[in-house]
């Protein structure tokens, strides 16, 4: 059955642990085929037969949380947040007044004034926590952070430690509020990215220009982009010349020139002059639409660390409650002079410090920050799991043409045999290649310099990894590499293989009639890319190509590559990558390519990276990481970002567990009070959240 995954926005979701419970609960509902909740973007990816049952469960798990048709989260403070600020403000005022005048308040009959002041402050700050804990207990869901906070604070009330009960609840709520603001800030960073989505297009019909939505524009329609406007759809410039700001797509600040005949990508900003474009793709398939979809869906693919922390919390909280219970009961029974009040207090300290919020919120935020930070640099990572893989890459394999080299070939030599002139040879080759999008084919057509009519080609077939076959003027024309002639058993001039450059053979009716030589150049940052990869811990860098061995050897020497393999078909590339991945000590392998022939090997590698700006649709759809520019140095940047994200994630894990472990021991031995416990818990959470957001920068 084909799944129909829809996106929904979860409003008022500010608790990472609650998000994990909602996801787990929704997955268990009958009729739910797929569910993935991305806490960082408050987005639920869902394939379900009954949406109402999902909504009911969401609201049952977390009251006030609602499910809506997908929309971008708001960055501004809403009424709910303003209400939180007001109630917390009143609670803080009462708490401070209670501390200042505690002596006088306690001297009233039965201490009713003290109970009233701290009771109101406790109710204002903790009613939602108590309500949620009670609701969860009714549903037999005992162990979560609301349960920990409720037991700890009610226990403090029972032993008449009113200020500490209010202080714990108050600081817990303040910590939650700071978390909420941090989550909103991270969501807003993606909302800023979403603003590159164009709102309208100037559609030109005859002499009339009218504003329409980008979705209303069809392929081959003509649109006008005025100075300062954002390009709404992919297209080719018909008239005008201008400079385009592509920073939102590529992360590069340098404007790009655009003139008649140039391809322009949606999401760019027209900086200077009026442009007329002929649309080449509908909006749903445009560069910007695909980019935004990738970013929105990315964090739904959770990393192993995220999944581990969710499972860890399921065992961690019950263990903490059991440990606190033992601390409260056992020592007074076995230690002479120990009192229940003393050890119950220590148990309450343990419950406060053990809240898992720091881990549950900071780790998803860290991965989300990594994805958002990458997108700002023109690197689209399709899932948090791929950030982990990038961090462990030890082997990088590049395709050659269009990846390490410019892919902008020029015909440097035409040699004809068997009674054909160079002009005739070039004509046959150009007509046969006119239907191919391969860079070499386009260079041959460009060298021919004349327009090729569709009627001149009677039949056309692209032979993957070999070349093309076409019917021209009743003749069967073959244009391709040396392997093509071997495949067709056509004798040819072996001496031409010594010619520097890429040799393209031409055969007419089963007879070789000559060859062309096309030259390619390295990309400007190719050498720098290899150096940066080694600096980032990549141990082996290889190149795979279908080109001749001598051409590949020359490129490999220029780039100082560790190895190369030449004269490969697409299936040969897959076999080479599989053999490299079979080495258990080689670490993770990344393959970088741009063409349709690279799609199988991109899919087979641990992490497939596609050159996005000029890459084929097949390569981009198959890839795990898409580079919006064609700069190979972006590969090193992506790996560096993966390592940085992993480093921050593990910093948070070590910091949270380390500090909590220390204070648990201090609390158990009576050194740490409940005040120190709550400061440590909230402080660790806030530090972890702030540390997680560093990866955005």
DSSP secondary structure string for all residues of 74-123: P-S--HHHHHHHHHHHHHHHHHHHHHHTHHHHHTSGGGHHHHHHHHHHHH
CB atoms within 10 A of CB 258: 27
Q: Report the pLDDT value the prediction gives residue 1, as an integer from 0 to 100.
A: 38
pLDDT band of residue 2 (cuts 50, 70, 90) is: very low
- Average model confidence (pLDDT) for the chain? 79
The better pLDDT of the pair 65, 697 is held by: 65
Given the candidates 2.40.50.70, 2.40.50.100, 3.40.50.720, 3.30.70.100, the CATH classification of the domain at 6-69 is 3.30.70.100
Q: What would the pLDDT profile of 161-194 be if each residue is shown by its tens digit? A: 788 788 778 877 776 776 666 556 555 545 555 4
Q: What would the pLDDT profile of 537-595 be if each residue is shown by its tens digit? A: 999 999 998 777 878 888 898 899 999 998 887 778 888 988 888 875 668 899 998 76
Domain ranges of the chain: 6-69, 201-290, 410-519
For residue 300, give the 3-state DSSP assignment.
coil
DSSP letter assigned to residue 217: P
Give percent of the chain with pLDDT exceeding 70.
Answer: 81
Tokens representing 317 are 């909280």
pTM above 0.85, yes or no: no
Q: Report the pLDDT value the prediction gives residue 618, as an integer from 0 to 100.
A: 59
Q: Could you give the CA distance from residue 23 to residue 36 in angstroms, rounded to a whole number?
A: 6
By annotation, the residues acting in catalysis are 399
pLDDT band of residue 614 (cuts 50, 70, 90) is: very low
pLDDT at 673 over 60: yes
- 6-69 and 201-290: same fold? no
Q: Which residues contact 476 (CB under 8 A, 6 or more apart)?
A: 469, 470, 508, 509, 510
Do 348 and 169 form a contact (C-beta atoms < 8 A)? no
pLDDT at 77 over 50: no
**Helices vs strands, H then E, count in the chain:** 23, 26
Q: What would the pLDDT profile of 450-487 be if each residue is shown by its tens digit? A: 888 777 888 888 887 788 998 888 889 999 888 888 88
Identify which of 587, 508, 595 has the alpha carbon closest to the alpha carbon of residue 545: 595
Given the candidates 3.30.200.100, 3.30.70.1350, 3.40.1110.10, 3.10.580.10, the CATH classification of the domain at 410-519 is 3.40.1110.10
For residue 685, give the 3-state DSSP assignment.
helix
Given the candidates 3.30.70.100, 3.40.190.10, 2.70.150.10, 2.40.160.40, the CATH classification of the domain at 201-290 is 2.70.150.10
Do 590 and 390 form a contact (C-beta atoms < 8 A)? yes
pLDDT at 357 over 70: no
H-helix or E-strand containing 530? helix 526-535
């Amino acid at each position: 059955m084909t799944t129909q995954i829809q996106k929904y926005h979860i409003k008022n979701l500010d608790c990472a642990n609650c998000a994990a419970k909602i996801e787990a609960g929704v997955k268990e509902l009958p009729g739910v085929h797929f569910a993935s909740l991305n806490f960082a973007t408050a987005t639920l990816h869902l394939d379900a037969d009954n949406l109402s049952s999902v909504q009911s469960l969401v609201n049952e798990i977390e009251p006030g949380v609602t499910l809506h048709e997908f929309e971008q989260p708001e960055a501004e403070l809403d009424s709910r947040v303003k209400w939180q600020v007001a109630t917390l403000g009143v609670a803080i005022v009462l708490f401070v007044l209670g501390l200042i005048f505690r002596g006088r308040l306690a001297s009233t009959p039965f201490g009713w004034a003290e109970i009233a002041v701290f009771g109101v402050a406790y109710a204002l700050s903790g009613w939602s926590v108590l309500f949620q804990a009670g609701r969860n207990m009714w549903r037999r869901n005992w162990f979560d952070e609301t349960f920990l906070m409720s037991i700890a604070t009610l226990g403090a009330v029972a032993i008449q430690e009113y200020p500490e009960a209010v202080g714990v609840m108050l600081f817990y709520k303040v910590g939650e509020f700071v978390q909420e603001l941090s989550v909103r800030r991270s969501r807003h960073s993606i909302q800023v990215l979403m603003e590159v989505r164009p709102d309208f297009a100037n559609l030109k019909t005859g002499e009339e220009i009218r504003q329409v939505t980008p979705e209303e524009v069809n392929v081959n329609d003509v649109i006008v982009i005025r100075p300062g406007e954002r390009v709404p759809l992919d297209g080719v410039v018909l008239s005008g010349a201008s400079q385009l700001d592509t920073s939102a797509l590529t992360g590069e600040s340098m404007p790009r020139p655009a003139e008649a005949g140039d391809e322009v990508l949606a999401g760019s900003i027209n900086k200077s002059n009026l442009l007329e474009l002929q649309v080449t793709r509908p909006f749903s398939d445009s560069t910007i639409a695909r980019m935004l979809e990738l970013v929105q869906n990315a964090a739904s693919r959770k990393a192993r660390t995220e999944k581990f922390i969710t499972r860890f919390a399921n065992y961690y909280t019950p263990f903490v409650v059991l440990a606190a219970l033992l601390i409260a009961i056992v020592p007074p029974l076995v230690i002479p002079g120990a009192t229940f009040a003393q050890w119950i207090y220590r148990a309450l300290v343990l419950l406060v410090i053990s809240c898992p919020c720091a881990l549950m919120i900071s780790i998803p935020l860290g991965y989300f920050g990594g994805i958002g930070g990458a997108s700002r640099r023109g690197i689209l990572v399709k899932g948090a799991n791929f950030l982990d893989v990038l961090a462990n890459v030890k082997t990088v394999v590049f395709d050659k043409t269009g990846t390490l080299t410019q892919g902008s070939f020029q015909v440097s030599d035409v040699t004809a045999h068997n009674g054909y002139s160079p002009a005739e040879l070039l004509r046959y080759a150009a007509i046969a290649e006119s239907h191919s999008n391969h860079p070499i084919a386009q260079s041959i057509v460009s060298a021919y310099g004349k327009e090729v009519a569709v009627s001149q080609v009677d039949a056309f077939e692209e032979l993957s990894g070999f070349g093309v076959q076409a019917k021209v003027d009743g003749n069967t024309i073959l244009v391709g590499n040396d392997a093509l002639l071997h495949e067709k058993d056509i004798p040819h001039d072996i001496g031409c293989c010594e010619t520097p450059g890429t040799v393209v053979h031409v055969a007419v009716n089963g007879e070789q009639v000559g060859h062309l030589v096309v030259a390619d150049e390295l990309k400007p940052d190719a050498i720098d890319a290899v150096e940066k990869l080694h600096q980032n811990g990549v141990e082996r860098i290889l190149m795979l190509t279908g080109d001749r061995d001598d051409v590949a050897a020359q490129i490999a020497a220029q780039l100082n590559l560790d190895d190369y393999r030449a004269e490969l078909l697409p299936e040969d590339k897959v076999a080479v990558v599989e053999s490299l991945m079979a080495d258990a000590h080689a670490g993770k392998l990344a393959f970088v390519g741009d063409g349709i022939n690279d799609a199988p090997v991109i899919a087979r590698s641990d992490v497939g990276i596609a050159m996005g700006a000029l890459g084929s649709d097949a390569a981009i759809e198959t890839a795990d990481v898409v580079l919006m520019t064609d700069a190979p140095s972006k590969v090193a940047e992506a790996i560096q970002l993966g390592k940085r994200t992993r480093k921050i994630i593990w910093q948070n894990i070590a910091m949270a567990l380390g500090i909590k472990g220390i204070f648990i021991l201090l609390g158990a031995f009576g050194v740490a009070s409940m005040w120190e416990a709550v400061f440590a818990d909230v402080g660790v959470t806030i530090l972890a959240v702030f540390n997680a957001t560093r990866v955005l920068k």
